Structure 1
């Protein structure tokens, strides 16, 4: 009789599984999710010298934040090139020259965020230390007219506190 081939692995073959394709697939999935994740951040204007607070809370999410920067008045030409009569700017430092422009900016973002049910629309107010409160009060009044009633005052933490802003 001839030799029969047995279904037994030869001594040269090992019973280990090659993990290289599995590791490659895990890294590809990781890269896919990192690239597709949307990080929502609040853009900050470095020209604003924010006030400090000893008691503050941290904003958990930037979802639904309408950012308005309030600048100090009467300081001549600012480093960003805007004149001192411009009191507000959007989150990307686009000047808002009048209460009408401010209202249009807040109204457009509030309407866009209204369709989103998973977060609440908030006014994120970033005021300069030298800014008068009347600029902030005008922003809060306009936001209330547009239906935005929650206000977050952005502050820097005092030396012994950790959070970066307070929600009121």
Structure 2
């Protein structure tokens, strides 16, 4: 094995061999640095894999207990909550965001739909003015700035990952 070749370790139930193959392909074909994946079915762990490197220099192997941030893991549950509300008839995905958040209509955003927020197509992938991590954690400040800002592009025309704004946008709705 080459000195900096990623190794995948852990357990994978044979029924989920395709998961292991896809995970390994991330390192082999897509230049993944380091990652872990776990899958539980009916309370039983059927996939628990980790591999690659915990540092950009590829000097520290990714271990079973390597700590990572969980930034984007909250997007799935946030979207799920919005879809549950839609399923219950409490949220219309085709309604303008301003229906639920009137201040949001400022700066040319009156036609942005709830579905644009959920699909990263709202043109609000970042804030225009400097915004620290501490400020990002200030819900009122962040949502006020998002409501007041002009979109980076015409909403619905392109996609751009709303890495730091997704939770505030969907959450405020």
TM-score scaled by length of structure 1: 0.22
Q: Which has the higher helix share?
A: 2
Question: Which has more strand, going by share of residues?
Answer: 1
TM-score, length-normalised on structure 2? 0.21
Query: Which structure would you say has the larger RCO, counting Cα contacts within 8 Å and 6 or more residues apart?
Result: 1
Is the radius of gyration larger for structure 1 or structure 2? 1
